[in-house]
């Protein structure tokens, strides 16, 4: 081989190597960024309301505005709930001549910009729904006409949402089974389109709709989204897995989160979303499962707070029982959910997810005890075995009763079937 030909080959190989390196770096930067997916957002999990669990496709402008007013009058806004999110079925079944999404004129005659303005005038934030496929979930299921998914329209739709004043986008896969790489690519495309608008929009993704993400892969979406769903759909039931095998009840979600292989780590601008709250939501149509009772509702809220999940209510706020309202606006519960340390919750060894602990920013520890059984049971928790300091006394706040007490080394409580205790525990210095 001549010296000139050898030199040419080396140059070509070097160029290929440089191109591969550039591609690798591009892929890393695109999918593995260490910063938040969308800049300029709050550092705590979003709190709000979504229309789907209460109303499904039965939504219109008046119902959404009444809900927003109820969020204010109920005290939810002042407790921190800000996002009013309109789920599937808000759009005209056909895009306009230029390919733009538009509101269903019969349901939202004033248009979505007017709905956003209505929210903003009340100190609330506005959320909307879309899908990365050819069609949304309702369209794929045949309960709503058209094919208005965002595939191929990501930049156009993101600009539309920003122009309307959208503050939160729920982006629901609703497609065929896919591997994690395909999901990450698809969700990243919309992330980049949202970034390009310059508007700080919470980017909430659901990669578990039509497909199932392995439980050790959720951290792949860090940097891709603001929050990612970590389970299939949650329905308003305690145990749904046997009756409705594509969705979960509250105890099923607990079982999944306690699995050793489950991995989702909250970071700045990234939250693990255990799905919308089903406390107070109506019975699931077509399935013989009772909705959550008060004890089961406490368990869901206790677990979601312990896990630091976004809390997106799904009940009818205009007809809300006082027990549900008081639960949703419990300040001590929300303080645990919104804790600035963002430490993970850990199931106690051998507890089957019955007992969870989570360190908090002020040095205290949040503890959840859940009765998974169908009958009342006594429980005991040794504080030292749960990782608390070895001291002789502990200040214990029972979040649901609001009562404080001084406890010794072990906490004892009796819990009704499917009920939970949520505690905030601090070691008391023996010198004081």
Identify the active-site residue in 88, 167, 233, 252.
233
Task: Tell me how crowded residue 167 is: count the other CB atoms within 10 A of its CB.
Answer: 26
* Helix (H/G/I), strand (E/B), else coil: 201: coil
Q: Which of 212, 274, 262 is nearest to 45 (CA)?
A: 274
Contact indicator for 142, 86 with CB cutoff of 8 Å: no
CA end-to-end distance (rounded Å), the chain: 86
Within a 13 Å sphere around the CA of 180, how many CA atoms are in the beta-carbon half?
14
* Helix (H/G/I), strand (E/B), else coil: 258: coil
Distance CA 238, CA 253 (A): 9
Contact indicator for 76, 339 with CB cutoff of 8 Å: no
DSSP state of 268: T
Our answer to whether residue 172 is catalytic in this structure is: yes
Sign of CA dihedral 318, 322, 328, 334: positive
Identify the active-site residue in 87, 157, 172, 419.
172
Our answer to whether residue 395 is catalytic in this structure is: no
Distance CA 83, CA 204 (A): 12
The token pair at 297 is 């509702």
Give the CA dihedral 16, 17, 20, 26, nearest 10 degrees: -120
Q: Which DSSP string do the residues of 374-395 spell out, in sequence order? A: SS-EEEEEETGGGT--S-S-EE
Please give the positions annotated as active site: 172, 233
């Amino acid at each position: 081989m001549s010296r000139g030909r050898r030199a040419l080959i080396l140059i070509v190989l070097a160029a290929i190597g440089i191109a591969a390196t550039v591609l690798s770096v591009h892929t890393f930067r695109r999918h593995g960024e260490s910063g938040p997916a969308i800049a300029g957002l709050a550092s705590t999990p979003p709190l709000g309301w979504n229309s789907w669990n209460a109303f499904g496709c039965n939504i219109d402008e008046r119902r959404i505005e009444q809900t927003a007013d109820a969020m204010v009058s109920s005290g939810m806004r002042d407790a921190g709930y800000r996002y009013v999110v309109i789920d599937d079925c808000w759009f005209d079944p056909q895009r306009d001549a230029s390919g733009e999404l538009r509101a269903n004129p019969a349901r939202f005659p004033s248009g979505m910009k007017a709905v956003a303005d209505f929210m903003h005038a009340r100190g609330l934030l506005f959320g909307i729904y879309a899908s990365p496929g050819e069609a949304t979930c309702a369209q794929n299921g045949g309960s709503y006409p058209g094919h208005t998914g965002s595939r191929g329209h990501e930049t156009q739709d993101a600009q539309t949402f920003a122009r309307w004043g959208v503050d939160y986008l729920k982006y629901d896969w609703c497609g065929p089974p896919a591997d994690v790489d395909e999901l990450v690519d698809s969700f990243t495309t919309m992330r980049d389109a949202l970034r390009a608008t310059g508007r700080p929009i919470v980017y909430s993704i659901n990669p578990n709709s039509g497909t199932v993400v392995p439980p050790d892969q959720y951290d792949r979406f860090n940097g891709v989204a603001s929050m990612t769903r970590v389970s299939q759909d949650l329905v308003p039931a305690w145990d749904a897995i046997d009756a409705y095998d594509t969705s979960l009840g509250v105890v099923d979600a607990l079982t999944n989160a306690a699995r050793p292989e489950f991995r989702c780590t909250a970071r700045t601008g990234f939250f693990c979303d255990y799905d919308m709250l089903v406390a107070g939501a109506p019975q699931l149509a077509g399935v013989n499962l009772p909705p959550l009772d008060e004890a089961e509702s406490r368990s869901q809220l206790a677990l979601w707070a312990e896990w630091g999940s976004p809390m997106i209510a799904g009940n009818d706020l205009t007809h809300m029982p006082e027990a549900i309202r008081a639960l949703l606006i419990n300040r001590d519960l929300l303080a645990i959910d919104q804790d600035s340390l963002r430490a993970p919750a850990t199931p106690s060894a051998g507890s089957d997810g019955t007992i969870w602990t989570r360190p908090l920013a002020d040095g205290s520890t949040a503890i959840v005890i859940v009765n998974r059984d169908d009958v009342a049971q006594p429980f005991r928790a040794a504080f030292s075995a749960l990782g608390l300091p070895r001291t002789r006394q502990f200040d214990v706040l029972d979040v649901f009763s609001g009562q404080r007490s001084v406890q010794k080394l072990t906490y004892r409580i009796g819990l009704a079937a499917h009920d939970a205790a949520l505690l905030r525990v601090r070691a008391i210095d023996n010198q004081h």
